[in-house]
Amino acid sequence: QMNRPAQAAAAAHTFFVANPGHQEMRQNLEYYQAMAGVREDDFTDLEAKPHLSEFRLGVRFYTEEQPAAAILHLEKALKEYFVADAECRALCEGPYDYEGYNYLEYNADLFQAITDHYMQVLSCKQGCVTELASQPGREKPFEDFLPSHFNYLQFAYYNNENYEKAIECAKTYLLFFPNDEVMNQNLAYYTAVLGENLAGPIQPREEIQAYRQRSLMEKELLFFSYDVFGIPFVDPDTWTPEEVIPKRLREKQKVERETAARISEEIGNLMKEIETLVEEKAKESADMSKFIREGGPLVYEGASVTMNSKTLNGSQRVVVDGVLSAEECRELQRLTNAAASAGDGYRGKTSPHTPSETFYGVTVLKALKLGQEGKVPLRSAYLYYNVTEKVRHMMESCSTLEKQEGRSDNSHEVHVDNCILNAEALVCVKEPPAYTFRDYSAILYLNGDFEGGAFYFTELDAKTETAEVQPQCGRAVGFSSGLENPHGVKAVTKGQRCAIALWFTLDPRHSERERVQADDLVKMLFSAEERDLLQQMEPEQEPPAAVTVGKDEL
């Protein structure tokens, strides 16, 4: 619009590199290519990372069997990598990020606060490995990115008949993977060609030795804090020696990996079966209750699927009834009335979604601690913990208000759980501050005795409603967290809406610290036999606690 086509071409190209499937931007690029005054070199990536650009060039020349050019660009890539690494690590040195914590409620003593902050900084620095290996448009970062430079270089130097450098790069690569059979064979060959007398004194690169030593020291501290303090850490490298990880933690991680793989496989199978049911009209009357018991994350005794993707006019959507009994719903509502506080879970924001409603919440960890202190029934807190089924993020929420006629706003505007919805452009951008790691979402309702508050799905325009679900006790709505499922909550015009919001991730790097602490607290409070017994017991019949509703509490 400002008649600056060259800058427009560069901006369009930059966006398209990160979003290669964006059809509208593809058309814009074709339009700019046909414009007079726009040159080919105007189509540049404005957000290109120098070390990645040099690395890609080096790999390209390597595959084209031009070893001299490959060496030039790969060595430049290494220099730029360490410049970017130093900058990334420096940016980690900042104030403590409270993440899901309300800083007013963070009451750690001096030593715990120092530990939390230092471990957060170290974890951030280790995360630079992933940050520097991530490329726009790629779903996953390059695996073993830094070591791979030396894999390419050792062979490029060999093809360039520079055996001293080939040996240096091979030995450097073996710092990370000492048991790599092929690289050991290459090293033996280079040594034989050059001669043992000349090859023996050649050492791995000093800067890589220092890098590896520093990284291992940081990992040892992080794994120790994970093992002792329960502060989660996911190693970004595959080359870390096993002895760095405490034995107890190794066994735990093995179980977690197996569980994650099993859940991922089950969810994949579940989604395939749902799509099959949608496509095959002959199976419309299939027994969905049997289907849900065969796998997937929403497995509860007595639960049954009452709506599937087809009846909800979308994909990867499901409504499950009977997740909780009526008495269990009442017990969790009593827990809410006794334990919830305004703004809990939204960093103290009492009206995070609409000024017409006040949000009350209680996290699982808080409920368990109150149960431990005798302020709420411990069995009720455990029921809350148990019903969430190992979720990563979870919160019980209530919207409380008097009768409100003529409201035009929603309780929660239409949004997508793992990307930023731009309804006008019909796109959803998967980048922070969105919770991009969320894979599946669910809402478990504890009541239905209020007016309004219906859950609904829309198209990407946030206006075209595709399905609506009325809340009721024990009903769960499950759906994938991506752009295929924009959703919102209509205004509650009278009464109190109580629900448990759940988000699931298959990425262990985003393990919720509060959940880890809640798991540890449950293990401390209950033996395995007690936990089994609590799951079998019926909730006690207690009179419901009164819910105080402020007259103009908006």
3-state secondary structure 134-198: CCCCCCCCCCCHHHHHHHHHHHHHHHCCCHHHHHHHHHHHHHHCCCCHHHHHHHHHHHHHHCHHH
β partners of residue 404:
none
Q: Residue 460 is encoded by which pair of tokens?
A: 């990407």
Give the H or E element holding residue 307: strand 304-307
| C-alpha to C-alpha distance for 416 and 485, rounded to whole angstroms | 7
* Contact (Cβ atoms closer than 8 angstroms) between residue 152 and residue 181: no
Two tokens, residue 545: 């606690």
Instruction: Please enumerate in sequence order all residues whose Cβ is within 8 A of that of 552, keeping only pairs 6 or more positions apart, or say none.
Output: 402
Catalytic residues: 497
Spatial distance between the Cα atoms of 504 and 478, rounded to a whole number of angstroms: 10
For residue 297, what are its two tokens? 């994350």
Q: Does residue 433 have a cis bond before it (omega within 30 degrees)?
A: yes
> Which residues are CB-contacts of 15 (< 8 A; sequence separation ≥ 6)?
22, 25
Cα→Cα distances 505→99, 158, 273, 420, 480, Å: 17, 45, 21, 17, 11
Q: What is the CA radius of gyration of the chain?
A: 28
338 to each of 118, 238, 306, how far by Cα in Å? 36, 47, 32
Say whether 44 sits in a helix, a strand or coil.
coil
Whether 68 and 35 have beta carbons less than 8 Å apart is answered as no
Element (H, E) at 264: helix 247-279
List, in order, residues 6 or more apart from 218 with CB less than 8 Å away: 122, 125, 126
In angstroms, the Cα distances linking 330 to 38, 458, 478, 539, 544 are: 67, 31, 22, 9, 7
How would you label 98-134 residue by residue, b for 16+ Cβ within 10 Å and e otherwise? eeebeeeeeeeeeeeeebbeebbbbbbbbbbbbebbe
Q: Are 512 and 365 contacting, i.e. CB atoms less than 8 angstroms apart?
A: no
* H/E element, 319: strand 317-321
Q: At what angle do helices 145-159 and 110-132 cross, to 10 degrees?
A: 40
Specify the pairing of strand 427-429 against strand 455-458.
unpaired
Beta strands in 365-484 (DSSP E): 393-401, 412-415, 420-422, 427-429, 440-445, 451-452, 455-458, 465-469, 476-480
Taking CA atoms, 523 is separated from 394, 526, 531, in Å, by 19, 5, 9
